[in-house]
Amino acid sequence: MNLVEVKNLKTYFYSDEGVNRAVDDVSFEIPEGKTVCIVGESGSGKSITSLSIMQLIDKPGKIVEGEIIFDGVDLLKQDENYIRGIRGSKISMIFQEPMTSLNPSYTVGFQIDEVLKLHHKELDKKGRYERAIEALELVGMPYPEEKYNEYPFKLSGGQRQRVMIAMAMACEPKLLIADEPTTALDVTIQAQVLDLMNKLQDKKGTSILFITHDLGVVAQMADEVVVMYRGHIVEKASAKELFEDPRHPYTKALLNSIPVPGKHKRKSRLDTVDENIDYLQFPKEIR
């Protein structure tokens, strides 16, 4: 069963210099309980695809065409109220910058409480508190009762990202969109956060749409991989297939630019993705 089906999505940005086709005719599916990774360079349209699913495209951007079917309903045909009801409760999102993604004026607990208040009207104050502590424990936050009353500036980057994940998971969403959640974290914390997301997925059966440019992370997280290049999908395959048998020249170029111990000699030059080649000329490899 597919939880999300994105069909022929086109999101364009209109400016004085013309139209920027940030996302141009993109289609993919997110099966229930699976992780789909979107990989690509900066500016390839990864984040815009995820923001389109959340309907968070502001002017001058516009979703021109396509369907986003979530749980059997086309989100693009629904009104703002319906989307607001879905945001936070059925689809949650984690951002790249944990330093700025929590509101500095309120305590951690207050912010989790607010999300719960909005989407779990049946819980009373005590129920919400217990739920929030539970969520903080779930993401492995040390001393959750103490951290509940802390302001974000007292937490480290990794702790803040945990809080973000706790907030995102507090309402047990069906889909979690993670937009480069580990880019701003150091490698050890990154591994912990990824591990945590995998565990939560096993426990709650959440589908994850994971956006990254780090192929190492893809290998660790993905069931399915979507490779994006300049607003198009150039290759789509299961993670295993993609790493064992990359078919599209762009995917090959991407994979070749990762340093592999043993394969690459010291002081030799690393392969790069050639900017002068228009990879769109090659046929798309959609498996």
Contact range with other proteins by CB under 8 A, out of 95-103, 200-208, 217-225, 243-251: 95-103
Closer to other proteins by Cβ: residue 101 or 207:
101
| Smallest separation, CB 153 to other proteins (Å) | 5
Q: Which amino acid is at 273?
A: V
| Number of Cβ atoms within 10 Å of the Cβ of 180 | 19
Nearest residue to 184 via CA among 223, 206, 158: 158
Strands laid side by side in the 224-229 sheet: 91-94, 175-179, 207-212, 35-39, 224-229, 232-238, 285-286
- C-alpha 160/C-alpha 152 separation (Å) is 7
Residue of 7, 10, 62, 87 that binds other proteins (CB under 8 A) = 87
Closer to other proteins by Cβ: residue 60 or 216:
60
Q: Is residue 126 within a helix (H) or strand (E), and if so which, with residue range? A: helix 125-138
- C-alpha 31/C-alpha 248 separation (Å) is 23
Closer to other proteins by Cβ: residue 160 or 232:
160
Under the criterion CB under 8 A, does residue 257 sit at the interface with other proteins? no
Contact range with other proteins by CB under 8 A, out of 28-36, 84-92, 208-216, 240-248: 84-92
Closer to other proteins by Cβ: residue 44 or 50:
50
| Contact flags string 124-163 toward other proteins, x per CB under 8 A | -----------------------------x----------
Q: Is residue 167 within a helix (H) or strand (E), and if so which, with residue range? A: helix 157-170
Under the criterion CB under 8 A, does residue 165 sit at the interface with other proteins? no
- C-alpha 90/C-alpha 169 separation (Å) is 10
Q: Is residue 30 within a helix (H) or strand (E), and if so which, with residue range? A: strand 18-31
Under the criterion CB under 8 A, does residue 85 sit at the interface with other proteins? yes
- C-alpha 286/C-alpha 235 separation (Å) is 5
Residue of 57, 69, 76, 118 that binds other proteins (CB under 8 A) = 118
- C-alpha 65/C-alpha 50 separation (Å) is 15
Bridge partners of 225, per DSSP, are 37, 237
| Smallest separation, CB 134 to other proteins (Å) | 18
Under the criterion CB under 8 A, does residue 185 sit at the interface with other proteins? no
128 CB-near residues (< 8 Å, 6+ apart): 113, 116, 117, 120
Residue of 167, 196, 227, 254 that binds other proteins (CB under 8 A) = 167
Under the criterion CB under 8 A, does residue 92 sit at the interface with other proteins? yes
Residues in binding contact with other proteins, number by CB under 8 A: 29
Under the criterion CB under 8 A, does residue 75 sit at the interface with other proteins? no
| Smallest separation, CB 257 to other proteins (Å) | 29
Structure-token pair, residue 181: 């959640």
Sign of the CA dihedral with 81 first, then 94, 250, and 218 last: negative
Closer to other proteins by Cβ: residue 82 or 142:
82
Residue of 89, 107, 183, 256 that binds other proteins (CB under 8 A) = 89
- Give the residues lining the site for other proteins (CB under 8 A): 54, 56, 59, 84-89, 91-93, 95-97, 100-106, 114-115, 118-119, 153, 164, 167
